[in-house]
């Protein structure tokens, strides 16, 4: 059954991505990752490579990195880094000063990615929340094809930085590339089986799902950046309510760690359900008992399973 196939492949990806070397005081090479997706890929690529420490900044603690400020723990990690892997596309404005004073090499994972422009909002960007989200949408890892580009960029940098272990990095990269491709293919098969007519439209309450929607041919009707203390405007609420009614949309989606206040209000008005999607911005560290368990597997499964269950009916596929 295709559902079983996807679960098996995702489980294999989980195991491969979570076998990494924890940070050691006297590591031969220390790689600091600015986001959780990067942390996962570097961990996979460095699997079994002696003396490589993979660390990440605490960026998963906030729903919007434009609000993020480096902690003392982050600064210490950056000071001992030999290589800093960044998302790029304007996501890490908080890191500019630290990078200027760092001795570490820097790899921008967005190199070669076809970036999308940020979706326009009805409110003036940068005025309501005090910062500008930039011209490019930085959430490109949500497209599995872009995830493979990220992994390839990281492989190239690791080989260049640590050439004595190039063969190990290359071997890990082949495995990672194959699993990511298989996951994407099986996800498409599941969508084709359970949602063969497509969906009437995707409505999200975080603007980070544009790449995900494009990757799986999902019409993104509305994507509202709703952060803590900054809910959707009255105009946006009316507009989305009308969209839901006009298109008979059965479900709208909040980000797993985000606010659901406006979505719940719209659900009461329209009768639609509220479900969740995840941007995979946080998860267990290597020292966490759940690191090798089901934590990341659930994140990979969630978006496709919750999407199908939202439109085809709860329980159509497992999201456990």
Q: What is the mean pLDDT of the chain?
A: 84
* Percent residues over pLDDT 90 in the chain: 58
Structure-model confidence comparison of residues 319 and 36, the more confident one: 36
Tokens of 288: 């966490």
pLDDT of 54 strictly over 70: yes
Tokens 């996807």 belong to: 6
Contact criterion met (CB below 8 Å) for 183 and 297: no
Selection from 23-32, 42-51, 112-121, 130-139 with the highest mean pLDDT: 42-51
Tens-place pLDDT, residues 177-229: 887 888 788 889 899 999 999 999 999 998 899 999 999 999 999 988 765 55
Mean local confidence (pLDDT), 117-131: 54
Helix (H, G, I), strand (E, B) or coil at 243: helix
CB atoms within 10 A of CB 311: 22
For 313, counting Cβ atoms within 10 Å of its Cβ (0-12 exposed, 13-18 middle, 19+ buried), the class is exposed
Q: What residue ranges define each of the domains in the chain, with the CATH number in brackets?
A: 2-188 (3.40.50.1980)
* pLDDT for res 64: 74
pLDDT of 242 strictly over 90: yes
* pLDDT for res 103: 93
Tens-place pLDDT, residues 243-265: 999 999 999 999 887 888 899 99
Tokens 């890892």 belong to: 141
Contact criterion met (CB below 8 Å) for 256 and 283: no
For the chain, state the CA radius of gyration. Answer: 20
Tens-place pLDDT, residues 280-289: 888 877 666 5
pTM: 0.87
């Amino acid at each position: 059954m295709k559902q079983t196939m996807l679960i098996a492949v995702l489980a294999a990806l989980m195991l491969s991505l979570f076998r990494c070397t924890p940070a050691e005081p006297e590591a031969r090479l220390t790689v600091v990752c600015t986001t959780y997706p990067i942390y996962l890929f570097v961990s996979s690529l460095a699997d079994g490579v002696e003396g490589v420490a993979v660390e990440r900044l605490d960026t998963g603690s906030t729903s919007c990195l434009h609000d993020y400020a480096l902690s003392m723990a982050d600064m210490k990690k950056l000071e001992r880094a030999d290589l800093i892997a960044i998302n790029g596309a304007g996501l890490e404005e908080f890191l500019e000063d630290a990078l200027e004073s760092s001795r570490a090499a820097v790899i921008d994972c967005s190199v070669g990615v076809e970036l999308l422009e940020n979706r326009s909002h009805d409110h003036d960007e940068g005025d309501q929340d005090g910062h500008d989200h930039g011209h490019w949408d930085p959430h490109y890892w949500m497209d599995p094809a872009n995830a493979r580009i990220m992994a390839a960029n990281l492989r190239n940098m690791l080989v260049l930085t640590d050439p004595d272990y190039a063969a190990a990095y290359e071997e890990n990269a082949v495995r990672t590339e194959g699993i990511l491709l298989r996951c994407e293919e099986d996800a498409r098969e599941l969508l084709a089986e359970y949602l063969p007519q497509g969906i009437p439209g995707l409505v999200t309450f975080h603007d980070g799902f544009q790449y995900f929607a494009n990757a799986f041919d999902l019409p993104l009707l509305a994507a509202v950046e709703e952060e803590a203390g900054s809910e959707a405007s009255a105009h946006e609420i009316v507009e989305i309510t009308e969209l839901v009614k006009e298109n008979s949309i059965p479900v709208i989606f909040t980000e797993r760690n985000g606010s659901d206040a406006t979505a719940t209000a719209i659900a009461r008005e329209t009768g639609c359900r509220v479900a969740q999607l995840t941007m995979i911005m946080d998860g267990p560290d290597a020292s966490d008992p759940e690191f090798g368990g089901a934590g990341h597997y659930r994140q990979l499964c969630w978006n496709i399973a919750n999407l199908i269950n939202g439109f085809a009916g709860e329980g159509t596929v497992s999201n456990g």
